[in-house]
Amino acid sequence: MNGIPFCQGPPDHQSGPFPFLIPAGAVDTHAHVISSASFVSNRSYTPPEARGEQYIEMLDQIGATYGVLIQVSVNGQDNEPMLQVLDQHSVRLRGVAVPLLGQPDAYYQNMKDRGVVGIRVNVMFSGGGLDLSQLEECDALAQDWGWHIQFLLDANDLPVLMSRMQKMKSTLVIDHMGFLKTSVGLSSPGFKAMVELVRERAWVKVSGAYRLSDEAPKYTDVVPYAKTLIEAAPNRCVWGSDWPHVATYGPMPSIAQLLECFALYAPTEEIRKKILCDNPQHLYGF
């Protein structure tokens, strides 16, 4: 429709073998539910619907205890489909919303009561709803409600943004290692700025390997980037499946493949427990 590309859905079942046993209490910090009834016209892609029960089934298949739903760009600022899934799984799930700004307190209280713990600023895909011109307003809102701000952005833009982000007072979370293709290089200004921000204060999701890699699974070219970020702030790194892998037009990754990559840069049980359990339970309030 109108040149908006369709993308495929995830595998129906996550078949292992998995490279390690997921520890009890593990949190998948990045996934989406998707409602076709809430598609925005300016979306970047058209995915299949993704329902809450499908996501819970995936968590069960891989052995994860908790999950975090992130408001998807194709649904704009209609957070209700995600909130309804949070209602159904209030113990097991949390949410990161894309709220409207300038609303009455009751609007934000409703979100918080239903499990929202953060705000998403997505500048990589159309329809995201909030942009970088609103950073300071988002920062004030996050402080008011005890939320963090999660950024899906291109880390190549961080050198220009650093001064503003360093002045923010709320907790900052960088998605998918800054969405930085490995071909850019460890010495690139964008990666160096991201490492500096993570070392100083930001959290980072060491996830999305298939989006960053120029290789087939196990996406080994991602490993040096992830290891550098983990070394910079081992207590502020988390991992997410990125289910249902929206805007993917090549081979669809399995969670087993993503975990194989994760195991390369988190090779010990101790660091895996920190990234999969301890850190995200603290950040998301499980």
Provide block-wise average pLDDT over 10 residues at a time, the chain (286 residues): 84 84 97 94 92 96 97 95 98 97 97 98 82 93 97 94 94 96 95 97 97 94 98 98 93 93 97 98 98
Strand order, beta sheet including 93-97:
27-31, 66-70, 93-97, 116-122, 148-152, 172-174, 203-205, 237-238
Specify if 67 maps to a domain.
yes
Specify if 92 maps to a domain.
yes
Q: Per the structure, how many domains does the chain have?
A: 1
Active site annotation includes 242: yes
Specify if 163 maps to a domain.
yes
What is the structure's pLDDT at 203? 98
Specify if 20 maps to a domain.
no
Specify if 14 maps to a domain.
no
Specify if 152 maps to a domain.
yes
Specify if 10 maps to a domain.
no
CA end-to-end span of the chain, whole Å? 40
Range of the domain at 230: 27-284
Specify if 265 maps to a domain.
yes
Classified as helix, coil or strand, 216 is: coil
Contact 187, 156 (CB under 8 A): no
Q: Which helix (H) or strand (E) holds 110?
A: helix 105-113
What CATH number does residue 214 fall under? 3.20.20.140
What is the structure's pLDDT at 123? 83
What is the structure's pLDDT at 13? 83
Among residues 105, 144, 242, 278, the one annotated as catalytic is: 242
Q: Which helix (H) or strand (E) holds 144?
A: helix 135-145
